[in-house]
Amino acid sequence: MSARPAIFGLKGPRLDDNERDFFRDANPWGFILFARNVESPKQLARLCVSLRDVVGREAPVFIDQEGGRVQRLRAPQWREAPPADRFGKLFAIDPQAAREAVWVNHRLIAHELRASGIDADCAPCLDLAIEGADAVIGDRAFGADVEMIAALGQSAMDGLIAGGVAPVVKHLPGHGRADADSHFQLPRVSETLDVLRDTDFAPFVALNEAVMGMTAHIVYDALDPELPATMSTAALNFVRNDIGFDGLIMTDDLSMRALTGSFEDRTTRSLEAGCDVVLHCNGNRREMQAVANRLPEIDGKVEARISRAEAARDRLEAFDAHRGLAKLDALLERVPE
């Protein structure tokens, strides 16, 4: 049976027999890991091997490793990467140094991830830092300047790909202006389309050749006043046709409280609206089974996008991590933590 268009999480640091049976039957395209799945580098590497063994192929294994507040691999066993806004501050001093620092930082992230078997990173965040918005994005954004975000976002993607890790830009078409945290409630953005084109949407236009992007569970009144972008045909058509994004589109986590309805309904509505792959993160097997019940076969267009995304893992350039870390520290000296 071919892979199905889903990315699933799991409960703990090891697969149990029930999870093995479920993943073998559901055959998700990929998996996503969180801090609850991590004990040590060796354990993590073994877990990644066991996940791929269950489905019998080199399934992508995703993680959120942005740096700052959002990184699942943490000290003392892993490096604490800086938050995005520190690179934005460096950009204000020296744009070239900032681009170089972002590349090196993400090349280091790729090195750290690949060492444990992880080959896809839900980063970079292309959202704007908007004064007065909910703090869920905050320092996860490079800043508020569109051209800077596009430049640093490109450097981040280049650094990950150079290390054999496929990047996922987020959150399409822009989360920075949200008035709530979509983990807990449904945000709404009421700005006009003209404003959004010039601001929130613009970094995604600039980087519309990214291989993967993650949706935002946000209602944009200018696109669809009723449905969050994840489930809105109008919003996702805008992403495809106006933003020009032809990479693989995955949902943000279907278990977030911004969404309502059964998991069967969330799955069907997201895929019918135009998402290519659904993401379910919390490892709840009952919820994942409901998602799996509604998964179609992967069609030709989605298969082509999956192939491009998987190919982004193939490039692995030589890299000296010790020299890279020293270089990053030197570049960031002008920006205090």
Please give the Cα distance from 147 to 153 (Å, whole number): 10
The sign of the dihedral angle between the CA atoms of 293, 297, 53, 212 is negative
Of 252, 253, 276, 280, the active-site residue reads 252
CB 64 within 8 A of CB 123: yes
Q: State the number of CA atoms in the 13 A half-sphere of 139 facing the CB.
A: 12
CB 166 within 8 A of CB 310: yes
Please give the Cα distance from 64 to 72 (Å, whole number): 6
CB 188 within 8 A of CB 159: no
Query: 139 to each of 105, 128, 142, 169, how far by Cα in Å?
Result: 16, 10, 7, 16
How far does CA 77 lie from the centroid of its chain?
23
Rounded to the nearest 10 degrees, the angle between the axes of helix 84-93 and helix 321-332 is 60
183 labelled catalytic: yes
Of 183, 314, 320, 329, the active-site residue reads 183
Q: Which of 123, 150, 140 is nearest to 211 (CA)?
A: 123
252 labelled catalytic: yes
| Residues with catalytic roles | 183, 252
